Structure 1
Amino acid sequence: MGRKSIHRERKDKSKKVEQWTQALLPKLRNIELGELTMDDLAKLMNKSKSTIYQYFVTKEEIFEYVTQVRVDQLKAYKSEISIEIMGLGYQYEALAKILAEGVKDISPFYLKQLQMHYPSAWDIVEHFLQGLLKDLKEFYVFGIENKIFKNVSPELLIKLDEYFIMQLITDHTFFNDHQQTLESAIKEYMFVKFEGLVQ
């Protein structure tokens, strides 16, 4: 009964709520998400629990919101790809910058924890990544057909992307062993890939 009443009285999420929930991300880089309580999250956001409950009912809802906000910010890549295709231009650095900026403050350990403990939030990530793979395939096909890229298999390129995106981003042991960030890995991966593709 209490939960329904809280749900009914929740406030609309403002820009300020977006800011203090996004500020959570760097604090969660190495934290076991499954062990976090609402009290822990409130402390990490420097808010009282009653303030948190004005906007969110559950931890799941917080992680869904945090994930959706970041994914919405990342969707800028779509217009970047479209602009390049429309103008027959090519500049992988712009796309790499958008994607690297999107993962700023996010660790592979955090993503793995999200996948394990908050499947509804992970679904948002996965849906975004599947859309990105589809768009990249169209970009490769267009680039190959218009002789911007070398004549290589788009299916192979997508398989490489799929492995990198779906496997490596949650492999915190690789990043721990190599002292690399997700942000730098994306930049390096895209450099190697696109510089190798250009005619």
Structure 2
Amino acid sequence: MGRKSIHRERKDKNKKVEQWTQAILPKLSNMGLGELTIDDLAILMNKSKSTIYQYFVTKEEIFEYITQVRVDRLKAYKNEISGELSTLNYHYETLAKILAEGVKDISPYYLKQLQMHYPSAWSIVNDFLQGLLEDLKHFYIFGIENKMFKTVSPELLIKLDEYFIMQLITDHTFFNSNQQTLESAIKEYMYIKFEGLVIK
């Protein structure tokens, strides 16, 4: 007979847990996530395994939590877009800064590994990205209708965003060969796109 699992009540996650789980992201940038164990993650977080188990049951839960915390931070873009659109005072730098900050310390290789090995965590990323694409579509339409942006196809703009967001961010071979970070790529992409869109 195998050993029965012991059900333990987990502690509520607090700001400190958020800090030490987010702090491991730079360390995971080039690691194969599928091979990591709870012991490995505990070492990376500089915590004992018993401390980890006070808050998390599985590796999957750890990656879900790390992802959700980062996505919740990224959702600030919604307020920025809504506020700037309502006054027709759009500055693409604001959105670029929020998104670039959101991916700080996250590598395309990490995202690819997350997609391959932790589908529940990746679904949090995917849901966020799909929502972002939908918001950007409304943003383009509003900007074009109010003569803030040049008259171009919103569908084409979204297709470009879809490629950049859904494919390029996990293409670690591109980033390795170009020595660029996800953060810098987002800033450059937003600059190229919106400098071409905005009516001077």
TM-score, length basis structure 1? 0.97
Deviations 1:119-158 (A, max 9, x none): 0000000000000000000000000000000000000000
Q: Structure 1 CA distance, aligned partners of 2:41 and 2:5?
A: 18
* Residue in structure 1 matched with residue 51 of structure 2 by the alignment: 51
* Residue in structure 2 matched with residue 195 of structure 1 by the alignment: 195
Helix, strand or coil for the counterpart of 1:5?
coil
Q: Give the superposed CA RMSD.
A: 0.9
Answering whether residue 182 of structure 2 is matched by residue 179 of structure 1, we say: no
Q: Structure 2 CA distance, aligned partners of 1:122 and 1:74?
A: 15
How far does residue 24 in structure 1 lie from its aligned partner after superposition? 1.1
* Residue in structure 1 matched with residue 169 of structure 2 by the alignment: 169
Q: Structure 2 CA distance, aligned partners of 1:62 and 1:109?
A: 18
* Residue in structure 2 matched with residue 71 of structure 1 by the alignment: 71
Task: Kindly report structure 1 stretches of 4+ aligned residues shifted beyond 6 Å.
Answer: none
How far does residue 90 in structure 1 lie from its aligned partner after superposition? 1.1
Which amino acid in 1 is paired with 2:170? T
Deviations 1:95-118 (A, max 9, x none): 000000000000000000000000
Q: Structure 1 CA distance, aligned partners of 2:4 and 2:186?
A: 45
TM-score, length basis structure 2? 0.97
* Residue in structure 2 matched with residue 160 of structure 1 by the alignment: 160
Q: Which sections of structure 1, spanning at least 5 residues, go unmatched?
A: none
* Residue in structure 2 matched with residue 20 of structure 1 by the alignment: 20
Q: Structure 2 CA distance, aligned partners of 1:196 and 1:2?
A: 62
* Residue in structure 2 matched with residue 80 of structure 1 by the alignment: 80
Judge conservation of contact 1:63–1:121 (CA < 8 Å) in 2.
yes
Q: Structure 2 CA distance, aligned partners of 1:47 and 1:40?
A: 10
Identical-pair percentage:
81
Helix, strand or coil for the counterpart of 2:7?
helix
Q: Which sections of structure 2, spanning at least 5 residues, go unmatched?
A: none
Which amino acid in 2 is paired with 1:52? I
* Residue in structure 1 matched with residue 99 of structure 2 by the alignment: 99
Distance 1:3 1:72, change over 3 A: farther
